[in-house]
């Protein structure tokens, strides 16, 4: 049966923002170590505000989401397998549930009561892959089990308290501005710390439940390929960039891979099945060969690849869409190369030619699997004449 999605109203938007707030403060990078202790600080036994807030917001969140059906039922199955590995926080009982949210921001968020909301676009991206679902859900499960909403709330309150003391005279504009900026920077790096810790715990949770850790970078690369910088509400858009996140996770990721091989020696028989093809495409190097010719080298490294991948380069003059209706069809030029990507220092080289009077070329490089599904995208700087 097809579900009707209802557009969330303004109130739901406000309520959603309250929950988004947990994952909404990811832009800043900064001193993580200073926040380490607070991130690990325990939550008082009598603190129930997170659960009370979750109960209050639940009707609105439910109204703006549906139960998973059709291909997304695999998401529910995956959630059950993952949550069978975790214990509820002390004194709380969680009711794990997956909902498909009426949004298309490529986003996921969770409520402290154990409900995880994955929006339509992200659900479509995960599709029928239990491993990709596990990569999405395990991160949210980690936030819930760690009670990160409560941690963030308590940390924010502690910042507000110290800001009052520092300000002294109420209404001094410059001091107030400086302190509020400092507080928001502190909060941003505190949240970043929470995100990294959730990522690390999520990796081990996946491994214990039988989902290969390679599904995490595979998901990151898909989000990078399909994510659009304009989606300001997306938790994923808030990350500085996926390459950075992959690097920050590297040590935990190696440890998780070793543990997976130990626990699940027959990969194909694990709940997530064989690990996915993962392509790490580094930033392409651009060299100008002549007046309107550039050489673009794409360094890449592949994991779990048995056959070949296609590297596709798309180029178009900046503003081609506008010129198209006047003179010629929008000129998107395409070049493709196949590679077995067997060397850890595989480099694919393209020669790109500019058309007459091209001032600037916009270039995208995608890596596709043998069936044409996108695996990753590499960012190429604009080419100037
Ligand atoms: Zn998160």
What is the CA(303)–ligand 1 centre distance, in A?
26
Find out whether 41 and 148 touch, Cβ atoms under 8 Å.
no
What is the CA(160)–ligand 1 centre distance, in A?
23
Enumerate the β-bridge partners of residue 280: 301
Domain boundary pick from 232, 252, 269? 269
Question: Interhelix angle for 73-83 vs 130-146, to 10°?
Answer: 50
Q: How far apart are CA 361 and CA 182, in angstroms?
A: 40
The candidate with the shortest Cα–Cα distance to 36, out of 252, 189, 143, is: 189
260 shares its domain with 290:
no
53 shares its domain with 101:
yes
204 shares its domain with 349:
no
Question: What is the total count of domains within the chain?
Answer: 2
- In the chain, which residue ranges form alpha helices assigned H by DSSP? 10-20, 33-40, 49-63, 73-83, 120-126, 130-146, 148-167, 173-209, 215-226, 242-248, 250-263, 320-324
Please report the pLDDT score of residue 324 as a whole number.
34
What is the CA(335)–ligand 1 centre distance, in A?
37
For residue 246, being part of any structural domain is answered with yes
Q: 97-101 and 65-66 as β-strands: parallel, antiparallel, unpaired?
A: antiparallel
What is the CA(168)–ligand 1 centre distance, in A?
35
239 shares its domain with 300:
no
257 shares its domain with 110:
yes
What is the CA(71)–ligand 1 centre distance, in A?
24
What is the CA(146)–ligand 1 centre distance, in A?
11
What is the CA(367)–ligand 1 centre distance, in A?
27
Find out whether 263 and 211 touch, Cβ atoms under 8 Å.
no
For residue 315, being part of any structural domain is answered with yes
What is the CA(272)–ligand 1 centre distance, in A?
22
What is the CA(23)–ligand 1 centre distance, in A?
5
For residue 283, being part of any structural domain is answered with yes
What is the CA(39)–ligand 1 centre distance, in A?
14
For residue 88, being part of any structural domain is answered with yes
What is the CA(199)–ligand 1 centre distance, in A?
8
What is the CA(87)–ligand 1 centre distance, in A?
19
Domain residue limits at 183: 10-269
60 shares its domain with 94:
yes
Please report the pLDDT score of residue 330 as a whole number.
59
What is the CA(29)–ligand 1 centre distance, in A?
15
What is the CA(153)–ligand 1 centre distance, in A?
15
239 shares its domain with 291:
no
For residue 4, being part of any structural domain is answered with no
For residue 236, being part of any structural domain is answered with yes
Domain boundary pick from 269, 299, 318? 269
137 shares its domain with 171:
yes
Domain boundary pick from 269, 292, 317? 269
For the chain, 385 residues long, give each residue's pLDDT as a single digit of tens. 333 333 333 333 333 444 444 333 332 223 333 444 555 668 888 899 999 999 999 999 999 999 999 999 999 999 999 999 999 888 888 999 999 999 888 889 999 999 999 999 999 999 999 999 999 999 999 999 999 999 999 998 888 875 444 433 444 444 455 577 788 888 888 888 888 899 999 999 999 999 999 999 999 899 888 875 433 333 333 344 555 666 778 889 999 999 999 999 999 999 999 999 999 988 899 998 877 889 999 999 999 999 999 999 988 877 655 333 333 345 778 899 999 999 988 999 999 887 666 678 888 899 999 999 999 998 888 887 7
141 shares its domain with 209:
yes
260 shares its domain with 345:
no
Q: How far apart are CA 15 and CA 22, in angstroms?
A: 12
288 shares its domain with 207:
no
For residue 351, being part of any structural domain is answered with yes
pTM of the model: 0.81
For residue 215, being part of any structural domain is answered with yes
What is the CA(152)–ligand 1 centre distance, in A?
12
What is the CA(195)–ligand 1 centre distance, in A?
5
196 shares its domain with 335:
no
Integer CA distances (angstroms), 137 to 56, 110, 215, in order: 23, 9, 12
Three-state SS annotation for 71-103: HHHHHHHHHHHHHCCCCCCCCCCCCCEEEEECC
Please report the pLDDT score of residue 234 as a whole number.
34
What is the CA(99)–ligand 1 centre distance, in A?
17
The CATH number assigned to the domain holding 380 equals 2.60.40.10
């Amino acid at each position: 049966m097809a579900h009707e999605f209802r557009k969330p109203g303004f109130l739901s938007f406000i309520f959603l923002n309250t929950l988004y707030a947990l994952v909404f403060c990811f832009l800043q990078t900064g001193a993580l170590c200073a926040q380490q202790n607070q991130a690990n600080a325990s939550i008082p036994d009598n603190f129930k505000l997170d659960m009370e807030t979750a109960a209050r917001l639940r009707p609105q969140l439910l109204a703006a989401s549906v139960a998973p059906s059709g291909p997304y039922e695999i998401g529910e199955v995956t959630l059950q397998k993952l949550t069978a590995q975790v214990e509820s926080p002390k004194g709380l009982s969680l009711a794990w549930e997956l909902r498909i949210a009426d949004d298309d921001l490529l986003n996921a968020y969770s409520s402290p009561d154990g409900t995880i909301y994955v929006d339509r676009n992200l659900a479509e991206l995960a599709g029928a892959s239990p491993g990709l679902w596990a990569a999405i859900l395990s991160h949210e499960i980690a936030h819930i089990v760690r009670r990160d909403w409560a941690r963030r709330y308590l940390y924010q309150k502690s910042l507000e308290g110290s800001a009052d003391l520092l300000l002294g005279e109420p209404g001094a504009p410059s001091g107030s501005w400086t302190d509020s900026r400092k507080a928001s920077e502190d909060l941003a790096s505190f949240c970043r710390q929470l995100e990294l810790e959730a990522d690390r715990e999520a990796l081990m949770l996946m491994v214990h439940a039988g989902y290969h850790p390679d599904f995490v970078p595979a998901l990151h690369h898909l989000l990078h390929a399909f994510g659009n910088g304009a989606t300001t509400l997306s938790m994923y858009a808030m990350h500085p960039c996926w390459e950075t996140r992959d690097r920050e996770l590297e040590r935990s990721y190696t440890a998780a891979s070793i543990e997976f091989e130990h626990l699940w020696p027959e990969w194909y028989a694990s709940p997530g099945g064989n690990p996915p093809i993962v392509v790490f495409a580094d930033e392409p190097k651009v060299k100008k060969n002549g007046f309107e010719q550039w050489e673009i080298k794409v360094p890449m490294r592949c994991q779990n690849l048995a056959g070949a991948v296609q590297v596709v380069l798309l180029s178009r003059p900046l503003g081609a869409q506008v010129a198209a209706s006047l003179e010629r069809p929008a000129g998107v030029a395409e070049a493709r190369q196949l590679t077995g990507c067997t060397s850890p220092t595989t480099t694919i080289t393209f020669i790109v030619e500019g058309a007459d009077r091209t001032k600037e070329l916009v270039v995208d490089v995608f890596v596709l699997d043998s069936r044409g599904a996108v695996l990753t995208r590499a960012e190429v700087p604009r080419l100037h004449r």
